[in-house]
Amino acid sequence: MRNVARLSKSKFQKGLQCEKALWLEVHEPESADPVSESTQWIFDQGTEVGRLAQGLFPGGNEVWEDHRHPDDALATTARLLSEGVTTLYEPAFLFDGVLVRVDILVAAEGGQWDLFEVKSTGSLKPEHVSDVAVQTYVVEGSGLSVRRSNLVHVNASYVYEGYGYDVDRLFTTEDVTKEARSFMPSIHDRLERFRFMLEGPEPDLMIGTQCHNPYECAFSGRCHAFLPSAHPITDIPRLSENSLHALLDAGITCVLDVPEDFPLSGNQAETVVVVKSGRPCVDVDGLRRDLSKLEWPVYHLDFETAAAALPLWVGTHPHETVPFLYSLHIEKEDGSFTQREFISAGADPHRDVAENLIVDLDAVGSVTHYTSYEKRILDGLAAAFPDLAAGIAAIEVRMVDLEPIVKANTKHPDACGRTSIKAVLPAWCPDMSYSEFEIHDGLTASVRYQKFVRHLVSQAAADKILADLWDYCAMDTLAMVRLLDALRAEI
């Protein structure tokens, strides 16, 4: 029998999502996936939002000891309570083998307390209730009476006016006492189950929806390592958990081994057939019809955007998607092309982007994009700047989304039914790769830009970030040039 260490609020939440993940967190934490830059940024934003929310209850006392000194934090909390402190930030409590740190605890009438958990999200989510519930359970088990349990999150409708944040308008407080207390009676039994599980061997749990819901699991890489690198069954589009488990129970991990009589949807079955054949499947007539709608020259468009929990620019909201960079590859019918791009580091990047884009797109030629994302960005710009709406509308009538064309008319074995540009590009253009670039995805691009505009990096690093952002966004539109050329070659 192992000597299982005390649990924490985060471990409790992890156990609710997946007991195997909790077991690994306790016994093999070193096997977790590396924390990505974008994930760390989310954590850092959460910390920043939590500290800012303390301004809702100014003048409190903070328990400064970090997670490496839990016993000291408990002692400090006890001392502050004995001294009659009425507002505490990050107090620590231990009960039933669970240690929690409460974001904000405020004295209420009759010797009771109000508990506040702060989240950087723009709304209350179901998983927040169990988070608040286990804190309330531990605080009350430690001897305090909780009057109200609250979830504090950023107010998505708040408009940043500059010169600091108005915390009273930035945050929304929701009373979740009823919901938390409905969950609390199950906590002790859940803890007993977790402890029993932790004393045994690693749980034998199959991969499934718990690997990414409600959070991406930190041990996903470890748990998926048994799958083949080429054509794992998890690549089959929209494969249900029941179907996934049925295949795994039969010892099938590769698409090439899926039986012909295994029940799949039409699209899934077609994907399996194409993968097994090793040859692309193209509806030549459909592809010719869809591509004939293009008007030359073709402007391939891609945006990079930032969505900060705490708005960075006057007039924007928390988590508002703000475009700061676009790339255009302008392709002629003979395959030749030129490239334009624009990045804004100004006080109003999305207006800068809109104004420059209207000029750079000229007046004639289709504007291709990949997925509806670019259309949503343009819709947002038109709504934000009515004086530019006519110019943006003139762009939108020229737009052609390449993804539905790819999805309707092609299946490539190397894309395995997936239609994202990151899957389709290497399938049709295997000589092209994002691996040589410093930035490989849009989330990292967003994080680097936010670090740049907030002056969180040196000047040398800032210059490199700008260059890396140029390269990444330009690769996205060059990818559309190459993809369109590959598709045209099929007809």
**β-strand partners of 219:** none
Q: How many residues does the chain have?
A: 491
How many Cβ atoms are within 10 Å of 65's Cβ, its own excluded? 18
Choices 2.60.40, 1.20.120, 3.90.320, 3.30.70: CATH for 7-197 = 3.90.320
The ranges assigned to domains in the chain are 7-197, 226-278, 286-489
Angstrom distance (rounded) from CA 112 to CA 93? 16
Which amino acid, residue 169? R
pLDDT of res. 1: 39
Angstrom distance (rounded) from CA 401 to CA 375? 9
pLDDT of res. 449: 97
Q: How far is CA 471 from the centre of its chain?
A: 23
Helix (H) or strand (E) holding 129: helix 126-141
DSSP 259: -
Q: End-to-end alpha-carbon separation of the chain, Å?
A: 66
- Phi then psi for residue 434, to 5 deg, are -85, -5
DSSP 13: H
Q: What are the DSSP E strand ranges found in 34-175?
A: 61-62, 87-89, 92-95, 98-101, 104-107, 113-119, 146-154, 171-175
Angstrom distance (rounded) from CA 480 to CA 174? 45
Among 108, 75, 106, 107, residue whose Cα is nearest residue 92: 75
Report the DSSP pairing between strands 367-369 and 7-8: unpaired
Angstrom distance (rounded) from CA 324 to CA 450? 10
pLDDT of res. 347: 82
Q: Is 491 exposed, middle or buried, given 0-12, 13-18 or 19+ CB atoms closer than 10 A?
A: middle
Angstrom distance (rounded) from CA 118 to CA 167? 13
Sheet holding 146-154, edge to edge: 61-62, 87-89, 104-107, 113-119, 146-154, 171-175
CB-based contacts of 300: which residues, under 8 Å, 6+ apart? 328, 329, 330, 331, 368, 369, 477, 478, 480, 481, 484
Q: Is domain 286-489 annotated with CATH 3.40.50.300?
A: no
Which amino acid, residue 158? Y
Same-fold call for 7-197 versus 286-489? no
pLDDT tens across the length of the chain (491 residues): 355 568 999 999 999 999 999 999 999 999 999 999 999 999 999 999 999 999 999 999 999 999 999 999 999 999 999 999 999 999 999 999 999 999 999 999 999 999 999 999 999 999 999 999 999 999 999 999 999 999 999 999 999 999 999 999 999 999 999 999 999 999 999 999 999 999 999 999 999 999 999 999 999 999 999 999 999 999 999 999 999 999 999 999 999 999 999 999 999 999 999 999 999 999 999 999 999 999 999 999 999 999 999 999 999 999 999 999 999 999 999 999 999 999 998 788 999 999 999 999 998 999 999 999 999 999 999 999 999 999 999 999 999 999 999 999 999 999 998 999 989 999 999 999 888 899 999 999 999 999 999 999 999 999 999 999 999 999 999 999 999 999 999 99
pLDDT of res. 3: 52
Angstrom distance (rounded) from CA 228 to CA 209? 19
CB-based contacts of 7: which residues, under 8 Å, 6+ apart? 15, 97, 98, 99, 191, 194
Within 340-458, residue ranges assigned H as helices are: 349-360, 373-384, 389-396, 402-409, 421-428, 442-453
Q: How far is CA 10 from the centre of its chain?
A: 19
* Region for 24 from its dihedrals, namely left if φ exceeds 0, alpha if ψ lies in -120 to 50, beta otherwise: alpha
